[in-house]
Chains A and B, each alone.
Chain A
């Protein structure tokens, strides 16, 4: 059986930069980080469900 592990990592933060609009992108989803354009479209459409407790 093919198995995958999913996990998050909160050490890999990134702080807002003043010059982000002049950034030069060499890759967009060709390696391990995902394709940012399609990802942002997905995030705009996705709705997060609100968690309510049972009691």
Chain B
């Protein structure tokens, strides 16, 4: 082949490689959805369905086992290889219907899925609120929007272990629960993501507070307005240079949502989700004195509503640490420190959050536990590392972009 051809192929690959990743459309059953004919599953039935299931068909795709776990909005099936099912449910007579879609977190693969539990295979007992030791979920999955035609059968193996039931482990979704680069149906750092993220298995979120030029705290990851995070619009450059009114009026996130204020996000997380942890990863030291009163109001609001939720100010660098220490009574500000354990003690942070590349650090984590502090690790995405950290570490939570993988490895623990 001539050298020139190599140049042409190389340049074409470069150009194709520079194309923006497109959204993976969420498959939908549309008018063929049968769930609208069904009634909501009783709350008492849900925990009885949760547990570990054996996959008895198509194990090469989904592995041998799946974790089935209810969340605030629906039900999640998750596998160890990143494939997960975001499902809704209902029942008719004694049959439980479960319908939704599956996705592979590590590729573009997705498709519809329809499942059911017949009355004789667990439906009767579950709907009466009785344990059903022989639940069988039968159904099929498909590819993209095509009708499901590949058989999928799950057989109940066991409930979650006592270790799992008694643990207070936090699965923290990065960037309010999920990143744009994972091509989720809602934008990172948006209210829509806070609503959606529990469907991926999260029990907490990490958000990125900044302040506008007129002192309003909002959540947005990057320092500038760009087409990775926003729809192409009229504003460009430093996001914090703009007023809140300008940002609200002229900027839309990649899926069309408005940039949310921090206060909106915290209020939504408290009022409309079951999330138990909010980790505010401060993006600027200037934001510290603005965020503290918002944090205090949110904590009070959660207390008034009887919500069990931790809201922590993250300290990612020395600038934020110094800004916090310049605040009166800073040792009583609930904080999460990513720096050394000495810094944790200095600001009396309630949580230590080392980066995952430093290892499990069980001795230091144990020291934190002995001092009544929590320890969470960020941001860990590889399935093997996730399993390794859960098996060998003693962290109280993990920040991740793949919460369904953490969920699988956490809930399956003996």
Partners in one complex: no
Binding site for A on B (CB under 8 A): none
Chain A interface residues (CB < 8 Å from chain B): none
